[in-house]
Structure 1
Amino acid sequence: MVWKFKRRLRCADWKRQVLYYIGVAFSLILVWNIVVINLHFDSVESEIYIDAGGTSRRKHGTQRSETNVFHVSKIPFARTGLRYAFESRLRKLLEIMEIDLDNNVANVVTENVLTYDTYFPDRQLYCDDVMNITNMTFIASGWTKAVYKGVFRDIPVAIKTVDVKGQDVTTCMNEGNTETTCFVKAAKKIVKEIVVLQALTGQNVLKVLGFCLPRDTDDNLWVAMVTELGEAVDLIKLLQMSWEDRLRISMDVTAIVNMMSETPYGSLAMNDFRRQQFVLVNGVLKLSDVDDIGFRDLPCTRNSDCHVDFASMNFTQISECVHGRCVELNEKRNIFNAGRHFVIYLLPHGAPPRLQPIVEEIVAGYTYISMTSEQLLAKITSLKQLYQSGWYLNRTEYATRNASYKRLTETDMPGFYDYLCRLSVAMATCTVSVYDQIEAEDLCNQDDHCRAFVMVTQKTWTGRTVVHFKNTVGSLRTNTNTTLFVKPS
């Protein structure tokens, strides 16, 4: 039978032989790709249970991170199969952690466990570490969680745990469920945050330092997540910031929206987009509350399924239905909400006149969703660069310093002769940032109250120099980090 097949093949014309070999080559390539994908996305279906990390690092040892689903770069939209593979693994990990929690409550002893270190190689705190956090102080509580601040090895940290008196638990108990059942239901939201925050690691995502989940039936039923300590985003404080700092907040929220538009796990939607979902860490805006984040774009069969009404602006946006998904719909919602809660009222006020047309473009992009998040990020980054370079000063020729200003190096007037001014970044002093000494002199010349100014070595986040304006000269002190400039009489 074999020799007959070979004979027929030899007798075929050269075109059929070419097609034959092309088919064989294509089949080999297809098989090779399947093997590579299976190796890259090693299935987690065999992972029946994952150990929650236990009470000490020594008890479980250090594990290799071969199955880590995090720290993956962006995946292009064209490779949606890969994105869904990563999302599937993320959902599977979350499901396993939730099952582990349920089993503990049901007094089921888990076997064939795999430590969480495999998935969280950057984890620094374990259950025994969490128990040893000192100076625990209540900060705030919400629908589900209570937040505390504390100190771990001289480092301030935040601790999130279930608020047993919160609305989530009490409502559940009022429906006839036991306290344990309701606690576990609420705890699963913290478990989701543990997974998602570490999946979205980046400059504008709150850093998870560690967590504690009950490992077995001998452990107390206590769920906690430990993160870097942030400051609540307060509307009044935002409005009192300098324009430079408000530009930073606007850039940060734009970067967050852009990051969420194209993650390795698909497009993400913040279903509860409010200022309370963010914190400030050393002036940087960071996403902190992700238990209501949704994965994937909405399913659809036609473009008309992909519309969203923005009632506050009285207009509707329609996205395209591609492969059964509403492409960019999540991104558009996130853009609109980011503008509504941050950019639209933070960026325009106090912007330098020459930068205002660019600011208006950005505000319009957020208001009417006329730009993608990537375009908005590029536009606001350009705005920052123009501000940083001093372009907004509109100097037509090389500016020179005013030689009549008297310069006193290593001199200061700390705590003396301060006054309030409109553009100050401080509450009790006239403190601003300037591009250079010439701008400081120009501002002082325009201010009738200014008699001198002190330039310090301190720089702002854009690299600008901090200046303190004074209404009198006297009480001089030595300071190696300052230079005093006295206005000519």
Structure 2
Amino acid sequence: MPGARPAGLLVALPALLALALVSWGPWRPPGSETPPGLLGELGRRRRDLSRLAAAVQAQACAAPPGRALGCADLEGATGVRPLASGITKRVSRALLPPAGEEVALKAVHGAGLDVSRCVQRYGHPAGCRRLAAYKLLKEMSLLRCLDHPGVVKLRGQCYDTSVNPEMKITTIMELGTPLEMIHLLQTPWEKRFKICLDLVELLQYLANSPLGSIALLDFQPRQFVMVDGVLKVTDLDDISTEELSCQTDKDCVLEFPTKNFSLKCAVHGKCEGINERRNLFNAYRYFFMYLLPHAAPLVLQPILKDILNATGDLRFGANETLRAFQKVLHLYKSGLYLQKKPSHLKEYIALKGFRSGTVEDYRCWPSYSHLGCMLSVHNAEEAADICCSHSQCQHFIITPQKTWTGRSLALFQSSSADLIPGNNTVVYVKRSTVSRVKPLTSSQKGYRDVREEIPTGTNFTPSKETTHFVSA
């Protein structure tokens, strides 16, 4: 278990960085077997970390709330299993005592491409692992200073002093679920829109972070996780807090596989907004293109198309993109996006106190339930319009469940034969369905207007007595 030895220590991050800078400094006798080229790379990593540590110290970044976890917490960890491995790091899942809290543990991936290539080049495994560990220290520094809901939380770290001559570091972070783009493409539009909105809010923060404008150099969906329904970036070792230096505009070309952009060289000798624009175009090509347009409400599609075009051409910065997303969110939550047209709700009868006894029914895409057709609606009128557009739909139920926008989830079903008394939900049944299939007993004088509700206790089963049919 990384960092679980008795000699392991938990130290405050500034002290850990200082210790690393001193103990790993190029002036420390590395041994004659250490190649000069590796010493040079270690020196460059050290200087990079030193600059970052100074910036963190200048910002007086606060420690994460709550008790910091350390080596002692890892000693009793159970259920440790690998989650993922990358070029530099490996990630494991663990349960920590006493309550079995789930966390993610990051450590240097000794068999990863970074270390393997370094060993092939220099033949010095310990020095190569030390070189890779700089990225963990860099990530810890950033996580300490970047306080945003879209950045995964640092829970603690373990520095194992028993490992010589290298430092063995384990980072303890909150656990998230990796993104699966194929799965996301099959989820309701409202969920996909939230992921994109979370991403835009994060990029707006990174463009104006306490450490300056930050570029995610390795921008891929695999660098993000979902934590309690919120999109978070979890890999920050490959970032830049410096904007590209320049002398003329020709030095400020932002290159992508399919498109290049020419930016301005500012008077202070930096390519103006290059980090912000890099992040936005990557968000466009990895997220917006796939998650925004499909199955969106028709009236919102022109606005979403404008967002796609503006980010795809880099006409919008982070602030403008966020404002555009907030406009879409307002239209969607308020119901202002709904087209003004004749309502279908008058074609339905409202029955209070009934529920469906059917678990499975016809399915629609994209549904909130894999057993049937469950969609997000602003109100009963929108649900009635949706039901009329589905040939199978004969009734719908406005459930108590809410989405993240506060909208209701409506269940659309094909048969009213199994409606039974229960709870306080309202079932909206097509009048034509009732008149064809469900005659009423003589005790029922007829249905009221759709805006009035039929109370629990009404008998909807055929009777041998005289019955009354509702006209269509």
TM-score bin, normalised by smaller chain: 0.7 to 0.9
Task: Indicate conservation of the 8 Å contact 1:101/1:214, yes or no.
Answer: no
Task: Indicate conservation of the 8 Å contact 2:144/2:154, yes or no.
Answer: yes
Question: Can you list the C-alpha shifts for 1:140-185, whole angstroms capped at 9, x where unaligned?
Answer: 1111111111223233221112222222222222224433222222
Give the CA deviation at 1:279.
0.8
Matched residue, 1:359:
304
Matched residue, 1:345:
290
| CA–CA separation in structure 2 for the residues paired with 1:345 and 1:141 | 26
Q: Which range moved further: 221-230 or 323-332?
A: 221-230
| CA–CA separation in structure 1 for the residues paired with 2:427 and 2:167 | 61
Secondary structure, counterpart of 1:204 in structure 2: coil
The amino acid of 2:340's aligned partner reads R
Secondary structure, counterpart of 2:168 in structure 1: coil
Of the three residues 266, 277, 280, the one matched with 1:321 is: 266
Matched residue, 2:51:
none
The amino acid of 1:413's aligned partner reads G
Matched residue, 2:193:
247
Task: Indicate conservation of the 8 Å contact 1:348/1:356, yes or no.
Answer: yes
| CA–CA separation in structure 1 for the residues paired with 2:111 and 2:84 | 13
Q: 1:422 to 1:335 in 2, by over 3 A?
A: same
Secondary structure, counterpart of 1:321 in structure 2: coil
| CA–CA separation in structure 1 for the residues paired with 2:230 and 2:272 | 30
Matched residue, 1:14:
none
Of the three residues 367, 370, 386, the one matched with 2:331 is: 386
Secondary structure, counterpart of 2:185 in structure 1: helix
Question: Can you list the C-alpha shifts for 1:156-215, whole angstroms capped at 9, x where unaligned?
Answer: 221112222222222222224433222222222112111112211211111111111235
Question: Can you list the C-alpha shifts for 1:242-292, whole angstroms capped at 9, x where unaligned?
Answer: 111111111111112211112121111111111111111122111110110
Task: Indicate conservation of the 8 Å contact 1:257/1:334, yes or no.
Answer: yes
Q: 1:143 to 1:481 in 2, by over 3 A?
A: farther
Matched residue, 1:402:
346
Task: Indicate conservation of the 8 Å contact 2:9/2:159, yes or no.
Answer: no
Q: Does 1:374 align with 2:319?
A: yes
Task: Indicate conservation of the 8 Å contact 2:207/2:213, yes or no.
Answer: yes
Q: 1:473 to 1:157 in 2, by over 3 A?
A: farther
Of the three residues 430, 435, 440, the one matched with 2:378 is: 435
Q: Does 1:485 align with 2:428?
A: yes
Matched residue, 1:456:
399
**TM-align CA RMSD:** 3.1
**Could you say which structure has the higher helix fraction?**
1
| CA–CA separation in structure 2 for the residues paired with 1:208 and 1:172 | 28
The amino acid of 2:138's aligned partner reads K
Question: Can you list the C-alpha shifts for 1:361-381, whole angstroms capped at 9, x where unaligned?
Answer: 100111100111100000111
Q: Which range moved further: 147-156 or 456-465?
A: 147-156
Of the three residues 57, 69, 73, the one matched with 1:129 is: 73
Task: Indicate conservation of the 8 Å contact 2:184/2:192, yes or no.
Answer: yes
Matched residue, 2:238:
292
Q: What is the 5 A alignment of 1:416-431?
A: 416=360, 418-431=361-374
Task: Indicate conservation of the 8 Å contact 1:278/1:289, yes or no.
Answer: yes
Q: Does 1:276 align with 2:222?
A: yes
The amino acid of 1:144's aligned partner reads T
| Structure-1-length-normalised TM-score | 0.73
Q: Does 1:312 align with 2:254?
A: no
Give the CA deviation at 1:336.
0.9
Secondary structure, counterpart of 1:240 in structure 2: coil
Matched residue, 2:24:
102
Task: Indicate conservation of the 8 Å contact 1:130/1:211, yes or no.
Answer: no
Q: Does 1:467 align with 2:410?
A: yes
Question: Can you list the C-alpha shifts for 1:371-396, whole angstroms capped at 9, x where unaligned?
Answer: 11100000111111101111111236
Give the CA deviation at 1:400.
8.7
Matched residue, 1:138:
82
Secondary structure, counterpart of 1:138 in structure 2: strand
- Structure 2 unmatched runs, 5+: 1-6, 31-56, 434-472
Secondary structure, counterpart of 2:140 in structure 1: helix
Secondary structure, counterpart of 2:203 in structure 1: helix
| CA–CA separation in structure 1 for the residues paired with 2:165 and 2:74 | 13
| CA–CA separation in structure 2 for the residues paired with 1:301 and 1:94 | 38
Secondary structure, counterpart of 2:365 in structure 1: coil
Q: Which range moved further: 323-332 or 301-310?
A: 301-310
Give the CA deviation at 1:99.
2.1
Task: Indicate conservation of the 8 Å contact 1:413/1:474, yes or no.
Answer: no
The amino acid of 1:420's aligned partner reads R
Matched residue, 1:201:
147
Give the CA deviation at 1:220.
10
Matched residue, 1:190:
136
Q: Identity across aligned pairs (percent)?
A: 32
| CA–CA separation in structure 2 for the residues paired with 1:263 and 1:401 | 49
- Structure 1 unmatched runs, 5+: 1-53, 69-91, 109-115
Count the aligned residue pairs. Answer: 394
Q: 1:422 to 1:310 in 2, by over 3 A?
A: same
Question: Can you list the C-alpha shifts for 1:275-334, whole angstroms capped at 9, x where unaligned?
Answer: 111111122111110110011211122233222234413x43222322121111111111
| CA–CA separation in structure 2 for the residues paired with 1:342 and 1:132 | 39
| CA–CA separation in structure 1 for the residues paired with 2:362 and 2:111 | 47
Q: 1:186 to 1:479 in 2, by over 3 A?
A: farther
